[in-house]
Structure 1
Amino acid sequence: MIMTAEQMKAAEDAAFCKGSTPAGLIEIAGEEIASVIHQYFPKPSTLVVFCGKGHNGGDALVVARHLEVQGWNILIRLTTSVDEMSPLAREHLESLEHSQCISSLPPIFGPLVILDGLLGIGAVGAPKGIIADQIIEMNHLRVKYGGFTVAVDIPSGLDATTGEVFTPCVQSDLTVTVGGVKSGLVADTATPVVGRIALVPLPDLFFSEGDPASLITPTQLRHLLPIRDFDTFKGSYGRIGILAGSLGYLGAARLVSSASVHAGAGLVTLYALPDSYEILAAACIPEVMVHRIEAYSDVFMEKLDVLALGPGLGAAYHEELRSVVRDVAHPCVVDADALNAVSADTSLLSHCVGPRLLTPHPGEMERLFPRMGRSRRDWATEFVTSYPVTLLLKGARTIIAEQGCPPVFNSTGNPGMGSGGMGDVLTGVSAALIGGGHSPRDAAMLGAWICGRAAEIAVFNDQDSQESLAASSVITHLGEAFSSLRKADC
């Protein structure tokens, strides 16, 4: 559920009436935020805490205390004198044994994490005075030292309900939102300053009202990873067919098929036209079967559990692709050039024989269904209201929509995914999940989250940077992403 700032405050007040205390909630929130930071930075580093005088600052100081115990170097920038801080915030400041309150920052060596604990959801309007100055300082440090900024609950300078970005506003890489997801965090305007979103639930909070849309979380997905039976075989996990790749775009076929293999597919078959068959047969990983076909319509005769089609196919056979999208009986993941083919006649989406998962990026979506000023959420929901398909609208905040279901926002990923081939990987992963028995919606949710998590692992385990991250590296880390979800260490 997604809620406004007022709905969040009402839930907190209800919890206090039943015996919860601000001190108890702050302690839980701070400990959990520290745990999230530890997932990204398992080795102690330097943490600079920008601390407001209220409960948001209290959360940040509890984070600092937990990281201090782990050996972090803690530096604290206050916005007021200690005497002006709330009693809870002052108490948590005094509990820090080795941290320093500083008026200016010394030179920083090694990884830097910047913690925004200035303003909470009750803040109204643009930050002013010392708060504004410290926001500017935070953003400067992030650029100067390549720091990683973590916002407590919301980035300071963002309206928690509307998503309006005031000037100045903290540029966060990760926002750890507490209790529930605030509506402003998933607004289109907020995406550039919010970054990755992690949700820290508070056990004493219950929400009687709110937006039924949601943020994809590990808790929501974990039950979708059943333990495999010991008495099992390759046919138990899906026969995946792939139509991808053409001369000049053969890499797409390799990425889709390899991603499908590494996402749990039982059998993966890549279908290739005569002009590309020999190249693909030699280039694909050995776990992928490559079959020669004379026309895309040949797949109608194949025994499959799911068909993924579109990446790297080019524009030569659009009419035939439209026929495949419409008439193949089994579920299809429709991407890239298959989407471009469909855009010439979107009415066929109302007459598809089997379930369809469409995975457009914004440019492909514009060709399918012009945006015309809609928010991304409205764009997605109005599309699935018009057509009986599942939609995964890619972007920094990927949205999954389906008729009769509230939309969901993906929470994982990083800017390193802004490179060629990432969509091909998602297509292969989604196809493998559908082949393994998931519905298109569940496959889209799990696939988007897993691909984003694999990208995070690749960057934060020191093997890649955001600049060097490639689609093939995401495939390499899919196993770790599945494991992190299953182990609940994410």
Structure 2
Amino acid sequence: MQSVSCQSMRAIEDRAFAVHSTAEALMDEAGYKIAQKILHYYPQLQHATAYLGKGHNAGDAIVVLQHLQQAGWTVNLQTPLRLNDFAPLTQKKINALGSEYLQNQQPPAPKSLLIDGLLGIGASGPLRDPITTLAKSINHHRNKLDCTVIALDIPSGVNGDTGEIAKNAVLADHTITIGYPKIGILKSNTVQHVGALSLVTLPELQPQNAELAHHPHLICEHTLTRKRRDFDTHKGQTGRVAIWAGSMGMLGAAELSATAALRAGAGLVTVFIEPSLYPILASMLPPEIMLRPCTSPLKILEERFDAIAIGPGIGSPSEDISNQLIEVVRQTSVPTVLDADMLNLIANQQALPELTHHCILTPHPGEMRRLLPNATRLSREETVKQFLELVPVTLLYKGARTLIAQTNSPLFINSTGSPAMATAGQGDVLTGLIAGLCAQKYDQLEASKIAVWLAGEAAQIALASGSETIETLTAGSILQHLHFAFSQLPRTT
């Protein structure tokens, strides 16, 4: 979903009002959809406190509280303002909820939900009281009471155009933005304040082309689809994946990548492994995955595969194996995902010029610094741009907000994920997912976008289900919850 400036967002809203929509209708629709997002990701919290400024952002928060209350939640307000201080529409929504909530304000409960309804896209510059005091209160209770903070549209104190962070800006765990993503909250420097990102679409809001030009795109469920299979589809039609992964002490990487490719829907997955490691890995892999003892990566080129993945857990191969792996990349014409130790091998052998358009690279910041040493002096966005000027690959620059792009494509920014994913094996799962989707004839860019969104969504669903916590989530948990993430995406023929 393309992002817009705050000025463009206001122009889009004004056109909707001029034609057929009202501010109240849009507020009611947005509030309902935001509440549904909260119930999807945070069903266990059951207690919500909305922090209110004067404007319509506060009105959105009140509508959200109404729907949460109808779902059985306890709701509460925090604001020093009196009823007459609010915008007229927000006053109406407070009265509908019950004006007694203004008189009977209670401190937030531990481990509850805090809703930032302080400021919308019209605000800029430093925070001023009473907003400063309220924002500080949100951040205090987030830290001291282990509360979860939801920002509506943008976190208060974050500039929706520039991404500039004001002093005492709200630290949100999840921002639910309305209509279209705002440019500022997609900037890498805002990650700590924005948290996870979700988009609430309103069909009444239709941009003009000029309002969308040259801005980054947000990867979200509204822009992704999964393929519908014909009833007579067989495994030969859903793709063959070859994986060169694993070494002594790191065979789990091969198991995770292969299982992810299988769970992504690939028809046939084959792992190639050094013969001495065959018995160990054979005992680890699901029975649906084929395992091939092999002394030469060039064997991969002798069979027909629709996608290849190289790198997870391969360690530091011998010079001969390293040269053969580079040769596989050079000779194959199918999508080839290069991850982990393969990226280090490419950096060490200065083989970046060997890479072509069929390569998909998935570096984390450390690997990127080895591939592109001056990345330390660049922003994440600048790093992607400069890297793609050197090599015509599909690039996934991993991080709290993974960036995806190709030469001459827009920059795509992932919306899903959690700090719970800061564990070993997550990249191995992502590699397998991308390869499995490419094998099913998703193009490289689309496969990359879907895979990174699925992995992040699966993590958030695992946390929402109560089966995992920030500390206990593993790469295996992603695989266990992947089917729930897939179910969020619509099918297309």
Q: TM-score range by the shorter chain?
A: over 0.9
Give the corresponding residue for 1:441. Answer: 445
Equivalent pair of 1:326/1:348 in contact (CA under 8 Å): no
Residue 407 of structure 2 is aligned to residue 403 of structure 1 = yes
Over residues 334-383 of structure 1, what are the superposed CA-to-partner deviations in whole Å (9 max), with x where a residue is unaligned?
A: 1011111111355554554x711111111111111231532212211222
Give the corresponding residue for 1:423. Answer: 427
Distance in structure 1 (CA, Å) of the matches to 2:342 and 2:377: 25
Residue 223 of structure 2 is aligned to residue 216 of structure 1 = no
Give the corresponding residue for 2:287. Answer: 286
Distance in structure 1 (CA, Å) of the matches to 2:87 and 2:352: 61
SS for the counterpart of 2:197 is strand
Aligned Cα root-mean-square deviation (Å): 1.9
Distance in structure 2 (CA, Å) of the matches to 1:274 and 1:299: 15
Distance in structure 1 (CA, Å) of the matches to 2:109 and 2:376: 47
Identity, % of aligned pairs? 39
Using the TM superposition, name which of 129-138 and 17-26 deviates more: 17-26
Residue 336 of structure 2 is aligned to residue 332 of structure 1 = yes
Give the corresponding residue for 1:455. Answer: 459
Over residues 129-183 of structure 1, what are the superposed CA-to-partner deviations in whole Å (9 max), with x where a residue is unaligned?
A: 2211111111111122221110010001111111111110111111011111111
Over residues 193-236 of structure 1, what are the superposed CA-to-partner deviations in whole Å (9 max), with x where a residue is unaligned?
A: 101111112222222223342101212112xx122221121111
Give the corresponding residue for 2:196. Answer: 196
Distance in structure 1 (CA, Å) of the matches to 2:353 and 2:453: 26
Equivalent pair of 1:350/1:388 in contact (CA under 8 Å): no
Could you tell me which amino acid in structure 1 is paired with residue 415 of structure 2?
S
| Structure 2: runs of 5+ lacking an equivalent | none
Distance in structure 1 (CA, Å) of the matches to 2:20 and 2:484: 40
Distance in structure 2 (CA, Å) of the matches to 1:16 and 1:312: 56
Residue 139 of structure 2 is aligned to residue 136 of structure 1 = no
Over 3 Å counting, the alpha-carbon distance change for 1:461 and 1:102 in structure 2 is: farther
Over 3 Å counting, the alpha-carbon distance change for 1:99 and 1:274 in structure 2 is: farther
Using the TM superposition, name which of 175-184 and 196-205 deviates more: 196-205
SS for the counterpart of 2:423 is coil
Distance in structure 1 (CA, Å) of the matches to 2:137 and 2:376: 38
Residue 372 of structure 2 is aligned to residue 369 of structure 1 = yes
Over 3 Å counting, the alpha-carbon distance change for 1:221 and 1:346 in structure 2 is: farther
Distance in structure 2 (CA, Å) of the matches to 1:221 and 1:269: 28
Over 3 Å counting, the alpha-carbon distance change for 1:307 and 1:106 in structure 2 is: same
Equivalent pair of 2:77/2:106 in contact (CA under 8 Å): no
Task: Give runs of aligned pairs for residues 12-411 of structure 1, distance below 5 A.
Answer: 12-42=13-43, 45-97=46-98, 100-101=101-102, 105-106=106-107, 108=109, 111-208=111-208, 209-210=211-212, 211-222=214-225, 225-317=226-318, 318-345=322-349, 348-349=352-353, 352=356, 355-370=358-373, 371-411=375-415
Deviation at 1:468, TM superposition (A): 0.2
Distance in structure 2 (CA, Å) of the matches to 1:266 and 1:19: 49
Using the TM superposition, name which of 298-307 and 264-273 deviates more: 298-307
Distance in structure 1 (CA, Å) of the matches to 2:100 and 2:475: 41
Distance in structure 1 (CA, Å) of the matches to 2:483 and 2:353: 34
Distance in structure 1 (CA, Å) of the matches to 2:352 and 2:107: 63
Deviation at 1:98, TM superposition (A): 8.9
Equivalent pair of 1:44/1:70 in contact (CA under 8 Å): no
Over 3 Å counting, the alpha-carbon distance change for 1:351 and 1:361 in structure 2 is: closer
Equivalent pair of 1:252/1:311 in contact (CA under 8 Å): yes
Distance in structure 2 (CA, Å) of the matches to 1:102 and 1:281: 66
In the superposition, the TM-score normalised over structure 1's length comes to 0.95
Equivalent pair of 1:75/1:102 in contact (CA under 8 Å): no
Equivalent pair of 1:271/1:293 in contact (CA under 8 Å): yes
Using the TM superposition, name which of 441-450 and 7-16 deviates more: 7-16
Distance in structure 1 (CA, Å) of the matches to 2:297 and 2:348: 18
In the superposition, the TM-score normalised over structure 2's length comes to 0.94
Give the corresponding residue for 1:470. Answer: 474
Could you tell me which amino acid in structure 1 is paired with residue 348 of structure 2?
A
Deviation at 1:44, TM superposition (A): 6.8
Equivalent pair of 1:319/1:341 in contact (CA under 8 Å): no
Equivalent pair of 1:44/1:71 in contact (CA under 8 Å): no
Deviation at 1:445, TM superposition (A): 0.3
Could you tell me which amino acid in structure 1 is paired with residue 476 of structure 2?
S
SS for the counterpart of 2:115 is strand
Distance in structure 2 (CA, Å) of the matches to 1:206 and 1:276: 57
Over residues 262-301 of structure 1, what are the superposed CA-to-partner deviations in whole Å (9 max), with x where a residue is unaligned?
A: 1111111100012322211222111111101112222221
Distance in structure 1 (CA, Å) of the matches to 2:335 and 2:491: 30
Give the corresponding residue for 2:487. Answer: 483
